[in-house]
Amino acid sequence: MPTLPPSPWKEFLQALDAKMTEVCKLPCFGGFAVTMEYGISRPTSDIDVLDVAPPSAVEILIREGGEGSPLAIEHKVYLHIVGIANPPYDYESRLHPLNPGAFQHLHLLVMDPYDLALTKLKRDSDKDFQDVLQLAEKIPFDLDLFEKRYREELRENTTGKAEDNDITFYRWKEAILENRVRKK
């Protein structure tokens, strides 16, 4: 028996799934992903997804489950299809199912924790920074792998100057290390 997410996500996703006519792969990477897959407790009202497959499903997903849709109003949560994000180059090869078999048409996939963290790097909001600190503690992060993934798959494949991204990455890495020292 597949595991369903808790309410209101369960009811929202069941209703959205019933409106779809084809299988849709939804790579999740925001607060929903860190909460459902990695057990980090924080409030979120949306499911951030990137690179929906097939692309032809995007319009239906937005109309039926996007912000302001009848389902979103009813369940007070919504699907947010992110148009611009900077994931690591090979993130798709590391996606894994979230709640496999729970829905007929919606196949929720989640980024691995390093890819999820790195996808948040460019935006660098306080919420993103806190998610990364909590992920790094929960997993716990192998900081060599984190840096390798950043250098090989993100640094040269993202918007803006690489040096600016370096500043954010190394600030995050230093904060993770400081957190570890503080927790000992």
Q: What is the three-state SS of 20-82?
A: CCCCEEEEECCHHHHHHCCCCCCCCCEEEECCCECHHHHHHHHHHHECCCHHHHHHCCEEEEC
Quick one: tokens of 8? 């209101």
Is 77 inside a domain boundary? yes
Work out whether strand 78-81 and strand 106-110 pair parallel, antiparallel, or are unpaired.
unpaired
CA distance 184 to 9: 36
Query: φ and ψ at 24, to 5 degrees?
Result: -125, 130
104 shares a domain with 14? yes
Q: What is the pLDDT of residue 160?
A: 83
**Which residues on neighbouring strands pair with residue 27, listed in sequence order?**
109
Is 69 inside a domain boundary? yes
138 shares a domain with 80? no
Which of 95, 112, 129 is at the close of a domain? 112
Q: What is the pLDDT of residue 84?
A: 83
Q: What is the pLDDT of residue 163?
A: 92
Q: What is the pLDDT of residue 184?
A: 75
68 shares a domain with 25? yes
Sheet containing strand 106-110, strands side by side:
78-81, 46-49, 24-28, 106-110, 96-97
Is 167 inside a domain boundary? yes
Q: Is 55 exposed, middle or buried (0-12, 13-18, 19+ CB in 10 A)?
A: exposed
Range of the domain at 162: 117-183
127 shares a domain with 74? no
Of 119, 138, 120, 129, residue with least CA distance to 180? 138
36 shares a domain with 104? yes
**Interacting residues of 176 by C-beta distance below 8 A, sequence separation 6+:** 132, 133, 136, 137, 141, 143
99 shares a domain with 83? yes
Q: What is the pLDDT of residue 1?
A: 66
89 shares a domain with 22? yes
Which of 112, 140, 169 is at the close of a domain? 112
142 shares a domain with 78? no
Which H or E element spans position 126? helix 126-138
* pLDDT, one tens digit for every residue, the chain (184 residues): 678 899 999 999 999 999 999 999 999 999 999 999 999 988 999 999 999 999 999 999 999 999 999 999 999 999 999 988 899 999 999 999 999 999 999 999 999 999 999 999 998 999 999 999 999 999 999 999 999 999 999 998 888 889 999 999 999 999 999 999 998 7
Q: What is the pLDDT of residue 45?
A: 96
Which of 59, 87, 112 is at the close of a domain? 112
106 shares a domain with 122? no
Per residue in 86-96, pLDDT tens? 999 999 999 99
What total number of domains does the chain contain?
2
30 shares a domain with 95? yes
